[in-house]
Structures are given as structure tokens and as C-alpha cells.
Amino acid sequence: MKKIFIILLIPLATLIFLPVLTQRTYILHLAVMSFVFAVISQNWDLTMGYLGLFNFGHLSFFAIGAYTSGILSINYQVSPWVCLFIGGLIALVAGSILTLPTIRLGGRVFSLFSFSFQQVLFYLIRSNPMGLTGGSQGLSRIPPLQVFDYQLQGANSIPAYYLALGLFLGITLILYLTVKSPIGMAFTAIRDSENYAISRGINPFKYRFIAVVVGAFFTGIIGAFYAHFLGVVGPEILGWGNVVLTCCMVEFGGLGTLIGPTAAAFMLTILSNYLSGLEAYRNIIISLIMFFVLIAFPSGLAGIFVPIKTNAHKLTDLFKARNKDGEG
């Protein structure tokens, strides 16, 4: 493990000195977007990889964070810094609404429930209730975060870059510590063998709740940051393309590794932005890459580079077993 940390120092140093190395705002913008998507996919990995709980509606927490923060700061002139926190809190509440009624009904019901939750949210945002969400136009002119006189909006603002980096590193650290702590052990125990975990005194419902809610909170915060950073949010963040791209980041990187989804988030964000001029070709290229990875490396990139303890087959057996439980 020590070697990995030394290897990780190089990209970390690059990221810290990136504004010094390059002045091109496009690269900085890509870096910030990568931070945002890395945080989303890490948090998604927390429920999907570490708990084996397929939450199809994870991006709805992101949208909730972004929209709450945007609406509060535009319509009620709440300070963006407070909004950042409130966005996270509302996402947390949404996470518990999603989890509490369904957590005892099995993984399959939870996936379907979160899927429909996201659909409801998507259509509600698009239908522009009470003129709050701006319909399919989305919200625009969201006020930026401010430190003294600096406005942290757009990629040409270097403090914004460092705030994004700070959020990304901080959340990564917290998640890493959580995963290594007894709580994280409980997560993997439940994933690998639920009955055995129960017999050892681990309450699976409690830990599933914790994982979803923690993931929702951080995703909400990064969503709020996203809104204030770009100044615009549209309903397309809940669109199919975005959902599957983000889901692919987790799958592509390797479930239950944290570092894999992070790396994959950087790669895919950069790739999809780089190809964005090509429209249809871009989607075809990304689909082909996904297809290849799914067939050739089912346990993701991390499966090749990092020796991980859990093998993917155990996890997939569990998915299948759970699917079959769901019928009876």
C-alpha cells in the first residue's frame, strides 16, 4: 500500500500546481469538472461498490444539491456558502426519505425505488413547478461563492480551482478513512455475506442507511458547488446520458475501490469533454470503449492495476442471489 501512496503523490502534486503550470482556462475547467465527477463517483461507489446496494438515483442527490443551492441563492439571497451546506443537508434528507422505507425490502426494490425517484425529480424539475426551477432552460445567473473580493465562478478564477481541489481532497480523505474504519469493514462484511455479518452483530439496515446518507450529503455539497461554479444548472444533469456516463465511471474504475472510480472519473470527464465537438461520434466512441471494458475487464481498471481483496465474482454472485431472493 505504501507504494501506491508514493505513486499517488505525482498526480497530486500536478493537481496542486496545475494553475501555475498552465494558464489555459479550458484545462482548469476540465480539472474542476473532473473533481466534481470524481466526488460523485466515489460517493456512488460507497453504496454500490462497498455495500453492493445498487442505487440508481445517486445523481438525484447531485441535482437536489445544485437546485436547492441555486434556488435559495437566487430567490432568497441566501449566502452561497450557507447554500453549499444547505444543499448537502437537503440531499441528506432526500437520501433518508429514499432509504428509510425501502431498506428492508431488499436491493431490487431499492434500485427500482431510487430509479423512479430520480425520474420523478427529473420530470418535476423540467415541468418548472411555481417557476422555481426554470423548466428545461434550467437556472441561470446563480451568484458565485465569494471570498473577500474574489468571485469563485468560472475556471479563470484560481481560488475556485483550489476550493474544488480542497473539496475533492477533503471528501476523498473522509471517504477513505470511513472505508478503512470499522464502519467500512461493516459495509464490506454486509456486502460479502449479509447473514454472517448479522450473526456477528452488525445491523445491515443501519449501515446501509449510513452509507446512502453520507454519500447523499457529500454529493449534495458538490452539487451545490457545481451550481455556484458554473452559474447555470439544467435538468440534463439528470438525463440518461449523464446518469450512465457517471455510472460507467464507477463500473469502469472498479467497484469498491474508491481510487478506481476517481481515476475513471478523470479519464471519462476529460475524454467526453475532449470529444464534445463530435456529438454523435463522441457517443459512439465512448460506448465502444465502455463495451470493450465491460467485456474485457469486468472488474474495472482497478482490477488490473491495484490488487484488490474482494473478487468481483463474489460481488456478482451476491447481486444474482439478491435478484433471486427478490422474486420469492
Give exposure, 177-189, as e/b (b: 16+ Cβ within 10 Å). Answer: ebbeeebbebbbb
Question: How many chain residues touch another protein (CB under 8 A)?
Answer: 48
Cα 44 to its chain centre, rounded Å, is 5
Residues 95/217, Cβ–Cβ less than 8 Å:
yes
Cα 5 to its chain centre, rounded Å, is 23
Cell of 313: 465474482
Please state the closest distance from residue 102 (CB atom) to another protein, in A: 7
Q: Does 324 bind another protein (CB under 8 A)?
A: yes
Q: Does 291 bind another protein (CB under 8 A)?
A: yes
Please state the closest distance from residue 125 (CB atom) to another protein, in A: 10
Identify which of residues 23 and 116 has a Cβ nearer to another protein in the complex.
116
Segment lying near another protein (by CB under 8 A), choices 182-190, 220-228, 244-252, 265-273: 244-252
Which residues are bridge partners to 146 per DSSP? 151
Residues 29/226, Cβ–Cβ less than 8 Å:
no
Identify which of residues 102 and 153 has a Cβ nearer to another protein in the complex.
102
Segment lying near another protein (by CB under 8 A), choices 35-43, 100-108, 181-189, 201-209: 100-108
Q: Quote the CA–CA distance of 217 and 221 in Å, as a whole number.
A: 6
Q: Quote the CA–CA distance of 244 and 230 in Å, as a whole number.
A: 22
Interface residues for another protein in 52-71 (CB under 8 A)? Answer: 54
Residue of 23, 25, 75, 116 that binds another protein (CB under 8 A): 116
Segment lying near another protein (by CB under 8 A), choices 80-88, 119-127, 228-236, 266-274: 119-127
Q: Which amino acid is at 307?
A: P
Q: Which amino acid is at 226?
A: Y
Q: Does 251 bind another protein (CB under 8 A)?
A: yes
Segment lying near another protein (by CB under 8 A), choices 2-10, 67-75, 263-271, 277-285: 277-285
Determine what percent of the chain falls in helix, strand and coil, rounding each to the nearest 5: 75, 0, 20
Window 151-180: contact mask with another protein (x via CB under 8 A): ------------------------------
3-state SS assignment for residue 246: helix
Longest dimension (CA), the chain: 61
Q: Does 124 bind another protein (CB under 8 A)?
A: yes
Q: Quote the CA–CA distance of 263 and 249 in Å, as a whole number.
A: 8
Identify which of residues 18 and 244 has a Cβ nearer to another protein in the complex.
244
Residues 306/4, Cβ–Cβ less than 8 Å:
yes
Binding site for another protein (CB under 8 A): 48, 54, 101-102, 105-106, 108-109, 112-113, 115-117, 119-120, 123-124, 126-128, 240-241, 244, 247-248, 251, 280-281, 283-284, 286-288, 290-291, 294-295, 298, 313, 315-317, 319-320, 323-324, 326-327
